[in-house]
Structure 1
């Protein structure tokens, strides 16, 4: 892995674990086994490196979510596959956690990919839920956009509940409760 890639991957790891405020250039350099000169050769500073890392994280999340939401099965089966996908629940969402970082939210260049990711996933879920309405799997009264927002809110809230309880159980209950409300097949 090149020095540039090690810097990006180290920043991704540290942003997820510590947030932007808790991630110093020195921490990044140490984890990447790269010197200060290498970091500033590839990036103008911490903000540019963080933006690159956030973009990379969002790209990976989009690809993974799209694979599940475009995969086999009915619309509700695909939503269930997305929600039940294996995650590091106790660490929380790598993008969602950034919304709690005041420096990320105050910097448009860092906030932008976070907003874009949530906008994209809301839109993609709304498309799949609209398919469910069209197929008769969901009631015609279900609004795909607002329901997509509820799905994301449940997922993000599930992370918070799990971390507060130091257990994945509240996350799993939130997901299964939402799927039961949607009438998804295979609800445990």
Structure 2
């Protein structure tokens, strides 16, 4: 399943990332992690202090990956509207859900300040990045001056996270796509007439 060149600690982190996304924190047992990683009995405790330490490494890795993916789109070419549109329309495994957003529904992650921190920081980072793009659009005269960057950023993030929920509930990515199209229609209506 994993490359033979991948170290045991890397296999443990990757296995934990996958299991957290699939099963949540409680459903991610040390036994399941070791089995998926193809690692021996004492491997986890050789490389990590225990399950919470390994889970934190996995959540941090997932958060870094999500930020890099978002930045690849948000920092890409195009107008502010086009970059927000690209973020909303980027390829996602909609029915699987967001690996970070799903952790917000995990009571064990939310109850643990250390595990919750990378989740909260990532969502805050995305919101701030989106708000900055909206403000950039206002400065360039592409968006109406009355738009509030923080409010639009929250709406974009809410549409993405809520879209995952609706798609999973209906068993179809169409629910996600409808929400994205609706938000883009509203945002397009706020574009400056001169842009």
Shorter-chain TM-score bucket reads over 0.9
- The total of aligned residue pairs comes to 185
State yes or no: 1:7 paired with 2:12. Answer: yes
Name the SS for the 1:89 alignment partner.
coil
Residue 175 of structure 2 is aligned with which of 170, 178, 188? 170
Stretch deviating more after TM superposition (89-98 or 131-140): 131-140
Name the SS for the 1:30 alignment partner.
helix
Q: Report the TM-score when normalising by structure 2.
A: 0.93
Q: Which residue of 1 aligns with 2:114?
A: 109
Residue 39 of structure 1 is aligned with which of 18, 28, 44? 44
Name the SS for the 1:113 alignment partner.
helix
Measure the CA separation in 2 of the matches of 1:44 and 1:64. 29
Point out where structure 1 has 5 or more consecutive residues left out of the alignment.
none
Q: How does 1:1-188 map to 2 (within 5 A)?
A: 1-183=6-188
Deviation for aligned residue 1:35: 1.6
Deviation for aligned residue 1:50: 0.5
Measure the CA separation in 2 of the matches of 1:138 and 1:176. 18
Q: Deviations over 1:18-68 (max 9, x none)?
A: 111111010000000012211100000000000000000010111111111
Measure the CA separation in 2 of the matches of 1:176 and 1:27. 39
Q: Report the TM-score when normalising by structure 1.
A: 0.96
Point out where structure 2 has 5 or more consecutive residues left out of the alignment.
1-5
Q: Which structure: greater helix fraction?
A: 1
Name the Cα RMSD after superposition: 1.1
Query: Which 4+ stretches in 1 moved above 2 angstroms?
Result: none
Measure the CA separation in 1 of the matches of 2:181 and 2:40. 47
Measure the CA separation in 2 of the matches of 1:139 and 1:2. 52
